[in-house]
A and B are shown apart, each in its own frame.
Chain A
Amino acid sequence: MSLLEIEGLRVSYGDMLALDDVALEVGAEETVTVLGANAAGKTTLLRALSGLVPTQEGSIVFDGEAIDGLPPHDRVERGLVQVPEGRMVFPFLNVEDNLRLGAYGKRAREELEATFDRVLTLFPRLAERRAQLAGSLSGGEQQMLALGRGLMARPRLLMLDEPSLGLAPRLVSEVMERVAAIRADRVTVLIVEQNVAQTLRLADRGYVLENGRLALSGTAEELAASDEVRRAYLGM
């Protein structure tokens, strides 16, 4: 059974339809990517899954239970965790506080110290900068912090919205390495990325969103080989 199953999802902002009839599933321990041009609705999809924007129609089933209508913090408590677009670290709190807040929920808090040590091992730079204000970190460091903070919640499904946005190529590879490590840790991943080539190498399967509708889906190999994806996203 899939860990996440979405059917007939519709989201609109006022009278602008942002997502229409979107269906998608993510199996346990799979890595799935959502591709799409700017304004295709990728962020809207993840925000709807987290409960930050209301859905008009459709269903979201996580681990066999309908979660539409649950407030965001209840979804986090069930293990549906998101690292949002633009990192959104808490700029006036230090690195350690940012990480600890990641484990705010009851379930995550029970194992806070153990997770904290693991995250610092995975991101040694964060360990060095524990006492520094998050707002004064570099862009790359902030992204590592956002990822680490997401892991603090002990996700069962980790949603990543453009984790390499605005980073230099060397840092992009570093971020992708960390995502690979997270995946190797048996965390299920749903990733939205502009670096389509690297992401397809990492993912098992993928979907393509166009103007709020699903245009294509398949295994990562199928997508990487499809003319449409090669032309639109791989620049070939």
Chain B
Amino acid sequence: MPLDLTLQILTSGLLLGGLYALLAVGLTLIFGVLRVVNFAHAEFMMLGMFGAYWLWALWGIDPYLSIFIVVPGVFLLGVLTDRLVIQRSIGAPEVTVVFATLGVSIFLQNAALTAWSADIRSVTTPYGSAVVELGSVRISVPMLVSFVVALAFATGLWLFLNRTMFGKAIQAVAQNRDAAALMGIDVGRVYLVTYSVAVAAAGAMGVLIAPLFSVYPRVGLSYIVTVFVIVVLGGLGSVVGAVIAALLVGVIESVVGFLLGTAWAELAYFLVFLAVLVVRPQGLLGRRGAEVYQ
């Protein structure tokens, strides 16, 4: 394969991985801190896409502007979901928690279906297919923007978790919920903030991909499996692991997709996923036993 082409494929893969990272980081955080598998995660991305779509369709607001309206909206929806569903199911048997978030997922999909029908819609922007050229490599502008936002979010989150007192309180809750409560940490508040920030990131991803991909109520389904693979591959609860695994999966998908066709791409990252889990059951950066720490 010529060098130019190789670079092009790798770049596309990394950019795609950046998109996945924005979803995966939140999902892994929710799991690490709340011990909740958030099956509804990609639905918040779907709502972000619809938010961007409607603000554009009705009032012509560009997604890069409407993101400042949509993300706070999704954040508030996260607050509501946490209060109404998540906090009430925590402490219940694991199946209850699974059904609770699965229920939220189905509810949000059907609410979108009822409100907006199953039509496939797209946002058209002047920059939707714009590219910048870096040497011979062509980079989609909206992909580059989402990539930068994803990495900035992950870096900011990492700094927040490791450099602030509240961030360390979040880690404490993840490592031992009861002990954290005994330190005077308001565990419910930690859950609320973690859940809402994580789903808001999913909403942000939705807005950022609105200029690139079509939106419909079940669009989340095409991402959620990939993102679950990424979260387990990176190590449950590991933010840095999720980013690395997201980039890795993006590159595998892009390379294998080019060489063998897209049908093989999914199979390829599943194989890598299985291979990694055989050698490191805790995932790339996960800690053995961390997932059972409380």
Binding site for B on A (CB under 8 A): 50-52, 71-73, 76-77, 81-82, 84, 88-93, 97, 100-102, 104-105, 108, 149, 153
Q: Which residues of B contact A82 (CB under 8 A)?
A: 182
Task: Decide yes or no: A93 and B171 within 8 Å by CB, A84-B178, A88-B178, A88-B179 being known contacts.
Answer: yes
Task: Decide yes or no: A73 and B181 within 8 Å by CB, A90-B171, A92-B171, A92-B290 being known contacts.
Answer: yes
Total interface residues on B, CB under 8 Å, equals 21
* Cross-chain contact A52 with B175 (CB below 8 angstroms): no
Nearest residue (CB) in B for A91 is B175
Nearest residue (CB) in A for B290 is A92
* Cross-chain contact B175 with A104 (CB below 8 angstroms): no
* Cross-chain contact A50 with B182 (CB below 8 angstroms): yes
* Cross-chain contact A104 with B183 (CB below 8 angstroms): yes
A-B CB pair tally, cutoff 8 Å = 69
* Cross-chain contact B185 with A101 (CB below 8 angstroms): yes
Q: Which residues of A contact B181 (CB under 8 A)?
A: 50-52, 71-73
Q: Which of A77, A88, A97 contacts B184 (CB 8 A)?
A: A77
Of the A-B pairs whose beta carbons lie under 8 Å apart in the complex, a sample of 24, sorted by A's number, is A50-B181, A52-B181, A73-B185, A73-B186, A76-B183, A84-B178, A84-B179, A88-B176, A88-B182, A89-B179, A90-B171, A90-B172, A91-B175, A91-B293, A92-B171, A92-B290, A93-B171, A93-B175, A97-B168, A102-B183, A104-B165, A104-B183, A105-B183, A105-B184
CA distance A153 to B185 in the complex (A): 11
Chain B 180-198 interface mask (CB, 8 Å, partner A; 1/0): 1111111110000000000
Nearest residue (CB) in B for A52 is B178
Q: Which of A50, A73, A84 has the most CB of B within 10 A?
A: A73
Cβ of B88 within 8 Å of any chain A Cβ, yes or no, is: no
Q: Which residues of A contact B168 (CB under 8 A)?
A: 93, 97, 100-101
The smallest beta-carbon distance between B57 and chain A, in angstroms, is 45
